[in-house]
Amino acid sequence: MKQFLGSETTSTYEKAHVVILPIPYEATTTYRKGCENGPGAILTASDQLECYDEELGIETCFQTPIYTHEYIADTRVNPHLTPEEMLDVTTATVKRLIRDGKWVVALGGEHAITTGVVRAYRESIPETFTVVQIDAHGDMRHEYENSIHNHACVMRRVLELGLPTLPVAIRAICKEEAELIKAKNIPVIWAREIHCNPHWMAEAISKITTRKIFITIDLDGIDPSIIPGVGTPEPGGLDWYQTLAFLRLLCRHFEVIGCDIMELAPIKDSVVSEFTAAKLVYKLIGYWHTGKQK
């Protein structure tokens, strides 16, 4: 199995501060398939990353050792894995990593996985935290295609855990979601507002009322001109430097307890999407490390 950044920079589990958790689960994607291949593609692409971060001025992987966990909930091996089974093994695995003091970066796979990851933190941490969601879609339907664990329902399940959310870069919702946003007064940062408001990051930060946050990134939240390899691309997303600036700001102002990056669906004969996703993972680890130091 590939290691994040390759074997020469891999830490032992005992010494690692960060654990990369690949979860190649796919069962409910509704447009372009292939996100079960996302974690492996990110790990492979990460071999080509430079260890030195020119923005932060550090070799991140030597400042905060990184360990790559074995795959869990792998539908390439077990295509009949149910959503409930996936969520149970995800929750149990992440809870163990939290108990061991690891900072978890979960790699999907479809966005439904996030329910299990966030549930693990909810059951492990007594303090309420906000789930910051970078995404093109609301993902707040009660159910979709006869499943409450469809990838289009993940943030509805997160809300049911009693956690506040901050959806960012949203630009595609259904009527049911629009009504829920209004009824619950969910502070959505709409993509169309981002592109005409130079102060959107400060306004987003001001809407977070908890000290701790969890970050979930559906890669279609970023504009498909940058990451085209997603299941349901929507034009008008965040650009690369907007994404990085926002993530660094979050890590500077809040305690980021963990994160996930979901929905990479590799494109044949192109490595742009997986390399960009791998770099995003590494940048986020660097921002978390420098934010924690402060």
What domains are there in the chain, each with its CATH number? 7-293 (3.40.800.10)
Please tell me the pTM assigned to this model.
0.97
Q: How far apart are CA 195 and CA 197, in angstroms?
A: 6
Q: What is the mean pLDDT of residues 261-288?
A: 98
> Which pLDDT belongs to residue 40?
98
> Which pLDDT belongs to residue 128?
97
Q: What is the mean pLDDT of residues 70-88?
A: 97
Phi, then psi, of 60 in degrees rounded to 5: -55, -45
Q: What is the mean pLDDT of residues 163-188?
A: 98
Structure tokens at 244: 């990085």
> Which pLDDT belongs to residue 205?
97
Q: How confident is the model at residue 226 (pLDDT cuts 50, 70, 90)?
A: very high
63: number of Cβ within 10 Å? 15
| 197-230 burial code (b ≥16 CB/10 A, e <16) | eeebbeebbeebebebbbbbbbbbbbbbebbbbb
Q: What is the mean pLDDT of residues 27-31?
A: 90
CB within 8 A of 262, min separation 6: which ones? 35, 38, 106, 107, 108, 109, 110, 111, 113, 114, 216, 217, 218, 219
> Which pLDDT belongs to residue 54?
97
CA distances from 237 to 60, 165, 226, 282 (A): 27, 19, 9, 21
Residue 158 contacts residue 131 (beta carbons within 8 Å): yes
Type of residue at 212? K
Q: What is the mean pLDDT of residues 104-128?
A: 97
> Which pLDDT belongs to residue 294?
64
How do strand 58-59 and strand 255-262 relate by DSSP bridges? unpaired
Q: What is the mean pLDDT of residues 200-221?
A: 98
Is residue 126 over pLDDT 70? Answer: yes
